[in-house]
Amino acid sequence: MSEVLRVVDREWHQSQEASRLLASIEQQVQGGGLLLEGNFPQFDLFGVKVLLQGGSSSGKSTLFNILAAPDTERSVAAAETKGMQMARITWAAKLTNTGDVALFSIGVWDAGHRTWHEYDHIKEECERDTAVRAIVFSLKDKASWATAKQMADALPADARFFFVGTSYDLAPEHLEVAVDEVQQWSDAMGVAFCLTPAGQRSEHIRIRRRFLNLVCDTALRSE
């Protein structure tokens, strides 16, 4: 797992301060309520829209579900996303450059790959005001890694993005993409990546934490 965080303190979430604050945020937003600036006036609040991009069956919706509802048991049967879905997640992170804790209202957007190509209006809606893209590929599918790299190449020079390699829970003989190759490509591009073992339920909380920290880090880092 590459966790090259430049702005976000990756240890902070292990602390009692973090657990207490996240629990108190959760209480405030229970029942679909939104986190408002006035709820926690002592913290800066950043709004970040993150778009999950990637080829068919790369694992976008599986990741989306872990982010939106980490405690929910779900079937792993493949189901193409017909259309799009979005979720709002509130998160907190400690910023290493200032030492301050900041709050984040993160909108996560996920569209089925086929939908993305078939319907321009959905693509436009997903892309509007996107701050960060998470380019998702499956480690068990070489073609999805090729698609991910093409997507990255096609982005404007100032786009903020990182890679997510899914199916990290599978045994090495089932993987078609070498982690070393992803590492080398990411190093050369100066782009972060994370690997998600989504097939392992016990890892879901960690996957969520790493992903959300990477979103905050990518949104705030100065190039």
Ligand X SMILES: Nc1nc2c(ncn2[C@@H]2O[C@H](COP(=O)(O)OP(=O)(O)OP(=O)(O)O)[C@@H](O)[C@H]2O)c(=O)[nH]1
Which residues are at the interface with ligand X (CB under 6 A)?
Answer: 54, 56-62, 76, 78-81, 112-113, 166-167, 169-170, 196-199
Interacting stretch for Mg ion, rule CB under 5 A, among 57-65, 126-134, 161-169, 172-180? 57-65
Which residue is associated with the tokens 């986190």? 35
Position 61 contacts Mg ion (CB under 5 A): yes
Q: Is 81 in the site for Mg ion (CB under 5 A)?
A: yes
The answer to whether 147 touches 55, Cβ cutoff 8 Å, is yes
183 closest CA partner among 175, 194, 172: 194
Q: 166 is in the binding site of which of ligand X, Mg ion, none (Cβ under 5 to 8 A by kind)?
A: ligand X
Inter-residue contact 137 to 163 (CB < 8 Å): yes
Query: In angstroms, what is the minimal distance from the CB of 171 to ligand X?
Result: 10
In the bound complex, what is the minimum distance in angstroms from residue 19's beta carbon to ligand X?
26
Site for Mg ion contains 53 (CB under 5 A): no
Instruction: State how far the Cα of 81 lies from the Cα of 69, in Å rounded to an integer.
Output: 17
CB of 160 to ligand X, least distance (A): 21
Amino acid type, 101: V
In the complex, the smallest distance separating the C-beta of residue 61 from Mg ion, rounded to whole angstroms, is 3
By beta-carbon proximity to ligand X, the closer residue of 141 and 217 is: 141
CB of residue 113 to Mg ion, shortest distance in Å: 7
Task: For the chain, report the end-to-end CA distance as a whole number of angstroms.
Answer: 22
218's contact among ligand X, Mg ion, none, with CB below 5 to 8 A by partner kind, is none
Beta carbon nearer to Mg ion, 6 or 117: 117
Give the CA distances from residue 190 to residues 38, 85, 163, 197, in Å, rounded to whole numbers and listed in that order.
Answer: 37, 30, 11, 23
Measure the CA–CA gap between 134 and 194, rounded to whole angstroms.
10
Cα–Cα distance between 46 and 105 in angstroms, integer?
6
Measured from the CB atom, the residue of 60 and 208 that comes closer to ligand X is 60
**Residues engaged in binding Mg ion (CB under 5 A):** 60-61, 81, 112
